[in-house]
Amino acid sequence: MKRYKVISIPGDGIGLEVTPPAMQVVDHLAERYQFAVDWEVTPWGSEYFRKHGRMMPVDGLEIMSKFDAIYLGAIGSPDIADTETLWGLLIPIRRDFDQYINLRPIRSYKGIASPLKGDKEIDMVIVRENTEGEYSKVGGRYSQNTPYETALQVAVFSRHGIERVTRYAVAQAQSRRKEIVSATKSNGIIYSMPFWDEVVNSVLKEHPEIKSTQILIDALAAALVLRPETFDVIVASNLFGDILSDLAAALVGSIGIAPSGNINPEHKFPSMFEPVHGSAPDIAGKGIANPVGAIQAAEMMLDHLGESKAAADIRRGITDLFAAGIATKDLGGTENTASFTEKLLGKL
């Protein structure tokens, strides 16, 4: 029997409520398909910060390196600056474990209303560069607390980083409709975005079977709203991919159903899987959080670990429940976190 070691970080807010249902679903399928997941649940997050002044232990990354995967619930608290919560936990994990791909599948479901007019079938993948780009620590603040205070933020784009994210996007497209859109802003950002275009195009020239287009980010945002059904694979920088994927998730009904994977494709380091939503302190503790994003993040984790049959079962189960009108309140349904999970387990 295959055994996988997974470290779970429920984190903050509704992360504490949606992580256990996802673990239940994984354990249910592990029994069916004759594999086992050895979970280790940690108390890291904002509460840990309040007690220790940091989001995870000093040796947290070393601890995580011994696991096959990392499963994250949500991070963030209103009383702690995002620079502490994100740069103290999430971003160090992405960078130290070279999780250079942020993969965000976006699918529409029958039974779940979109804010868009018409019945558009949406099925796309956004491949976001995850370790460099606009989210760098290069820069600083000068003349602080004076009228001349200035902030400098330097975006970092390397040929190596752009090439590898583009190659990953090509691999995704080859298993889908063989179409890639590259998000750019080379008409306004004079150095990094023309360089992005140049490197992306050099990789795509090696793959004439892939139909490719580059679209300015503002026009692309509009096109996602007007004709989302036409998109297959979008490759984007760290910032652009972050914004586009949240927009696309909203188009299929709710950010509460969107999963993401922070992936080290070579399996040299553990990859991390998480729902896209935040800690949602306004609804935390009420038992009404939508667990689907967290459960679909677990689905992505199973796929990554090689348990594709179990992952496919999760996709079918959620699809069937939505088609039958079974959903949580944020999607217009009547279920809460526990009842939806119970019905999914029953369907599985």
Directed axis angle between helix 192-204 and helix 159-174, to 10°? 40
Q: From the CB of residue 300, how many other CB atoms can be counted at a distance below 10 Å?
A: 22
How long, in residues, is the chain? Answer: 348
Q: Give CA–CA dist 21/239, Å, rounded.
A: 30
pLDDT tens by residue, 165-213: 999 999 999 999 999 999 999 999 999 999 999 999 999 999 999 999 9
> Quick one: pLDDT at residue 240?
97
- The pTM (predicted TM-score) of the whole model is 0.94
pLDDT in tens, the chain (348 residues): 899 999 999 999 999 999 999 999 999 999 999 999 999 999 999 999 999 999 999 999 999 999 999 999 999 999 999 889 999 999 999 999 999 999 999 999 999 988 887 778 999 999 999 999 999 889 999 999 999 999 999 999 999 999 999 999 999 999 999 999 999 999 999 999 999 999 999 999 999 999 999 999 999 999 999 999 999 999 999 999 999 999 999 999 888 999 999 999 999 999 999 999 999 999 999 999 999 999 999 999 999 999 999 999 999 999 999 999 999 999 999 999 999 999 999 999
Q: Give CA–CA dist 221/217, Å, rounded.
A: 6
Q: Give CA–CA dist 163/129, Å, rounded.
A: 10
> Quick one: pLDDT at residue 118?
73
> Quick one: pLDDT at residue 254?
86
What is the homologous superfamily of the domain 114-252 according to CATH?
Isopropylmalate Dehydrogenase (3.40.718.10)
Q: Comparing 1-100+265-348 with 114-252, is the CATH topology the same? A: yes
Q: Which two tokens stand for residue 287?
A: 């038992």
DSSP for 225-258 reads: HH-GGG--EEEE-HHHHHHHHHHHHHHTT-GGG-
CA-CA distances (angstroms) from residue 149 to 84, 137, 142, 144, 152? 22, 18, 6, 5, 10
Domain boundaries, the chain: 1-100+265-348, 114-252
CB under 8 Å to 251, separation ≥6 — which residues?
106, 108, 114, 115, 116, 122, 224, 225, 228
CATH topology of domain 1-100+265-348: Isopropylmalate Dehydrogenase (3.40.718)
Q: Give CA–CA dist 32/74, Å, rounded.
A: 28
